[in-house]
Amino acid sequence: PKFGKGLLNIVGQDSTWSMNFSARVQLLSGSTWFIEDDNFEYDRTNTLIRRSRLKFKGHLFNPKVTYKMEFGLSNRDMGGASAFTNNAPRFIMDAVLKWNFYENFELWAGQTKLPGNIERVISSGDLQLVDRSVVNSRFNIDRDMGVQLRHHITLGNSFLIREKIALSQGEGRNVTTGNLGGHQYTGRLEVLPFGKFANKGDYRGAALDRQETPKLMVAATYDMNKDAVRTRSNMGSYMETDYGFHQTDINTFFADMMFKYKGFSFMGEYAKRTADDPVATNLDGTATGDVVWVGDGLNLMSGYLFKNNYEVTGRYSNVTLDESITGIGEENQYTLGLSKYFVGHKLKLQTDVTLLDFDASPDRLQWRLQLDFHF
Amino acid sequence: PKFGKGLLNIVGQDSTWSMNFSARVQLLSGSTWFIEDDNFEYDRTNTLIRRSRLKFKGHLFNPKVTYKMEFGLSNRDMGGASAFTNNAPRFIMDAVLKWNFYENFELWAGQTKLPGNIERVISSGDLQLVDRSVVNSRFNIDRDMGVQLRHHITLGNSFLIREKIALSQGEGRNVTTGNLGGHQYTGRLEVLPFGKFANKGDYRGAALDRQETPKLMVAATYDMNKDAVRTRSNMGSYMETDYGFHQTDINTFFADMMFKYKGFSFMGEYAKRTADDPVATNLDGTATGDVVWVGDGLNLMSGYLFKNNYEVTGRYSNVTLDESITGIGEENQYTLGLSKYFVGHKLKLQTDVTLLDFDASPDRLQWRLQLDFHF
Amino acid sequence: PKFGKGLLNIVGQDSTWSMNFSARVQLLSGSTWFIEDDNFEYDRTNTLIRRSRLKFKGHLFNPKVTYKMEFGLSNRDMGGASAFTNNAPRFIMDAVLKWNFYENFELWAGQTKLPGNIERVISSGDLQLVDRSVVNSRFNIDRDMGVQLRHHITLGNSFLIREKIALSQGEGRNVTTGNLGGHQYTGRLEVLPFGKFANKGDYRGAALDRQETPKLMVAATYDMNKDAVRTRSNMGSYMETDYGFHQTDINTFFADMMFKYKGFSFMGEYAKRTADDPVATNLDGTATGDVVWVGDGLNLMSGYLFKNNYEVTGRYSNVTLDESITGIGEENQYTLGLSKYFVGHKLKLQTDVTLLDFDASPDRLQWRLQLDFHF
């Protein structure tokens, strides 16, 4: 294959299976400064292998049965070992089988991303800035084990509707100790009034696909994690109490959109999380200190890609956690990024500067530089 | 290669080496209920990536020198990190070199399965039910580092005898802290009076190989772990005391058999473990709480494979630990399983129901569903 | 490819990239005895998978942009998980991009070995004895994240000079928590008066490359880790105090040489480490117990490779830590090794015997046997 199209592209005898194997690495260096009274005070620098992934995908047995396996090899990828993950690193990102069993219907089984907010579902290798926003890190619903049913329908010439529903264990990825509390239910509806984006541009950052006509996706996700035991639904700390786990229904709602036309792109997201009983308490009613991260957030990002494959991108992100519950106030982030795509997302150099404006602590300035190479 | 025969099948220049690379994933969901006074009370569900493996095998330098490397990537595979494993996950399953140095003699060096009970040595990808029995989990002798000498001889037309002896470190797999106590010695004798099973059917679950004439293997293993320091020989907890490790000779004995004819299969195993001094004590003679799991077990399994590759399997397992030492009474398990082999063991869906009958605690009912795909 | 030349050798469409994939395993067994009053008392044996590696290298986008990725899979390779590595195993050894941007200049970015002492930079798969010396384990500067600039120039016909400078984070490999204290600066100068070694023999142990004319490399490295917080520069324990980390400038100096002619090889190394303030203290001035390993060492090794590819090697290693600071006295090691190279370093059996002569504790005798196979 060509560079960026995977390292191996194998088709088995009699076409009984196929496999595309690819790898990628992200090298990141980031520095921060505190801003106090218009003075900049150097805080720290972190240089690391941000991500290192191996990816296998293809079909097996039958062209209608496809699979995806992705493994994370960097220390950032694999962290989160705990008694809930057999005290082992979380090496497996995705391990999912997809079966197109009837017309436009597809059944998925295994561990993969839930149909959550668009920023999360876009691969970390296809981002428009160095990393996802703070709105995503507070509210996203990540990966889980379970089944998904996906369907799409085209009305008229091009008006496209996609429906995605998921039933999951609700504990997050790579958990070996099984279900605690209840399960997790997710539904997502996507409307693309002007038809499909060329080159899967709706789920890829930056306007590298240079849509020839305006393309729009408007979507909403509703997710309910019944009797959840973690502070961010299927992620975050486990809410342990003196009688076991605090359990509460956690609801997460996303509305998001993607618009692209030629070199221009715009992505917007609104997120909101609520919980029936967000404060974990012991038997005597005292708070344990763990609370569900309830609140809402807004994320707006827009970029313009020049003919020479340089891109300028701006992003505004706001997160407002419920201060009376979480004790954390409002947070605003303003980011300006510059990317050079040597070979699309497969070989790129990205840099950005972010002003982090916190209610309760000094502001900070962050500068990041990232090199990506994907085979 | 065809589906199920590996992803890559490479032969080096001048045939100086070869490699077959394959991968497999098992997705498992299991639920249990307590049974009290004929009422079923839901206990819990566990959905997980049960196994995820990469396997490399082939020859190197010379066709008589072969190797096998297998890596476990799921959190269930990799668990067991401790100071004895350099606080790192136990990623490597097998890393073994095999040298056919003379006629029917083969010398193995490295880490791999010991020649223990048949149920253990059958690959977890070739099982007839969703998982191995409780007899295996209590008594098997798993993998270890060391050398093995293997030989086979045919008497008359087809009467086949195989001898396998192993000298091992005796501490289990992926240990970096070396030998504690003494070494482990294993011998196994296998008698196949009607000759070799077609398609290696003696070491594969289910009658997918449909033997045309009746085939039988009867075998016995004797294993002695000299001055062992773990509660299940080379597995289980380390028996730490206030003066160091409790050391005792642990003996494990297996007698097992496999019979297959057309769609019918039967596997039987008897296991027995003894120890010279099964109770770990401190200097002052008080028990530390760690004891060797001494006792015996019986495992009987039979299945019939229909022409459409559906199989019905029944299993009875009994484990009787020595209650005066272990404090654990008798355990009986009755399992009924149904499997559909789409492409043999390479793409299959298996389900089973087990009644778990404990002496000392309420009975439980377990239902499991597993999807396997192997390239 | 042929045996030992990698498992896969792929060139992408239009030669836009290439990849060579290789794997290797080292199986090691070592035993030690205490020597007291001319009696040998058996101490212990350790049999393990010493190393297990996967390696990817090639070019991407452009023949002048090359990469190397190496992963360590054995428990010995992956150890060192801590809060500083996201509590995950240290799976990635190398992940580095190299860009030959102008004539003889090359820029490296990512994680890889620093240009330290020659014994360290020689791959663990290309060693002349079973393992590196005690001088290396006390003083080497290992791997780090950062950038390196490399240049070489030939004067006259063959007089070759190489310059290597590195700017690194200074915390060691696979760290996710970023920079503590200052950065690390390394410079190395190599002089090869008789020109390049054939077959990269300067960075490969043993005289398997059988240089037809005498070849010599003389080199020196100076490394400064500004405000370092670990006891061995970018390795060793973190020097935590009651007010944070103890920070001190740590300097490491190496002078080393390699000489080869036909079957003969000689390698010599001198190492010296100093620190501005080697003793970590709490606010009240009491020592925390952590000290920088200051001192010096000498390592001399010579071998002769016979026509039948058997090699005899001798090594003398001396480490003299500053006893007043470290409390550790002088250590001498005398090693005699025998190697059989079946297919160069790619399939070899090595054994050695070492006398370990400590100032402060009883002497020990160590015997090791190692089997290497590399594809």
| pLDDT at residue C375 tops 90 | no
Are residues C16 and A3, on separate chains, in Cβ contact within 8 Å?
Answer: yes
pLDDT digits (tens, 9 = 90+) for C244-289: 999 999 999 999 999 999 999 999 999 999 999 999 999 999 999 9
| pLDDT at residue C361 tops 90 | no
C329 pLDDT band, cuts 50/70/90, is confident
Nearest residue to B292 via CA among B252, B320, B250: B250
Contact residues, B window 47-86, toward C, CB-based 8 Å cutoff: 56, 60-61, 67, 69, 71, 85-86
Mean pLDDT of A77-90: 93
Mean pLDDT of chain A: 94
Are residues B76 and A86, on separate chains, in Cβ contact within 8 Å?
Answer: yes
Are residues B16 and C8, on separate chains, in Cβ contact within 8 Å?
Answer: no
What does the DSSP 8-state code read for residue C263? T
pLDDT digits (tens, 9 = 90+) for A311-352: 999 999 999 999 999 998 899 999 999 999 999 999 999 999
Q: Which of B12, B111, B177 sits opposite C49 (nearest CB)?
A: B111
Predicted pLDDT at B220? 98
The alpha-carbon gap from C3 to the nearest alpha carbon of chain B, in Å, equals 6
C187 pLDDT band, cuts 50/70/90, is very high
Are residues A52 and C92, on separate chains, in Cβ contact within 8 Å?
Answer: yes
A177 pLDDT band, cuts 50/70/90, is very high
3-state helix, strand, coil in chain C (%, to 5): 10, 65, 30
A296 pLDDT band, cuts 50/70/90, is very high
Q: Rounded distance, CA C46 to CA C348, Å? A: 20
pLDDT digits (tens, 9 = 90+) for A14-64: 777 888 888 899 999 999 999 988 889 999 999 999 999 999 998 887 889
Predicted pLDDT at B9? 76
Q: Give the helix/strand (H/E) hosting A90.
A: none
* Cβ-based neighbour number of residue B93 at 10 Å: 23
Which positions in chain C touch A81 (Cβ < 8 Å)?
87-88
Mean pLDDT of C193-218: 97
Predicted pLDDT at A22? 86
Per-residue CA distances from B286 to B237, B290, B324 (Å): 18, 11, 16
Q: Rounded distance, CA C371 to CA C352, Å? A: 12
The alpha-carbon gap from B46 to the nearest alpha carbon of chain A, in Å, equals 4
Predicted pLDDT at B19? 82
* Cβ-based neighbour number of residue B247 at 10 Å: 18
Predicted pLDDT at C310? 98
B8 touches chain A (CB under 8 A): yes
pLDDT digits (tens, 9 = 90+) for C118-128: 999 999 999 99
Nearest residue to A130 via CA among A301, A330, A357: A301
Alpha helices, H only, chain B: 75-78, 118-121, 134-139, 323-326
Predicted pLDDT at A350? 98
Which positions in chain B touch C23 (Cβ < 8 Å)?
56, 69
Residue corresponding to tokens 């269930």:
B76
Which positions in chain C touch B92 (Cβ < 8 Å)?
49, 52, 73-75
Along chain B (375 residues), what's the average pLDDT of each consecutive run of 10 residues? 73 78 92 90 94 91 91 94 94 96 97 98 96 97 97 96 98 95 96 96 96 98 97 96 96 98 98 97 95 97 98 98 92 97 94 92 94 89
Cα separation of the two ends of chain C: 10
Predicted pLDDT at C6? 72
pLDDT digits (tens, 9 = 90+) for C156-172: 999 999 999 999 999 99
Are residues B343 and A14, on separate chains, in Cβ contact within 8 Å?
Answer: no
pLDDT digits (tens, 9 = 90+) for C99-146: 999 999 999 999 999 999 999 999 999 999 999 999 999 999 999 999
What lies within 8 Å, CB to CB, of C319 at 6+ separation is: C134, C135, C138, C139, C295, C296, C297, C330, C331
Chains touching C (at least 3 CB pairs under 8 A) are A, B
Q: Rounded distance, CA C191 to CA C158, Å? A: 11
Contact residues, B window 335-374, toward A, CB-based 8 Å cutoff: 342-343, 347, 371, 373
Predicted pLDDT at C61? 78
Mean pLDDT of chain C: 94
Least confident segment among B185-194, C8-17, C82-91, C307-316: C8-17
Q: Rounded distance, CA B72 to CA B54, Å? A: 7
What does the DSSP 8-state code read for residue B15? G
The tokens for B139 are 């008594």
Nearest residue to A120 via CA among A108, A98, A135: A135
The alpha-carbon gap from A178 to the nearest alpha carbon of chain B, in Å, equals 4
The full length of chain A comes to 375
Cβ–Cβ under 8 Å, residues A315 and A134: no
Domain ranges of chain A: 8-374
Amino acid code (one letter) for B356: L
| pLDDT at residue A178 tops 80 | yes
| pLDDT at residue A10 tops 90 | no
* Cβ-based neighbour number of residue A166 at 10 Å: 24
Residue corresponding to tokens 């026509």:
C307
Query: What's the CATH number of domain B8-374, 1.10.10.10, 2.40.160.10, 1.10.260.40, 1.10.132.20?
Result: 2.40.160.10
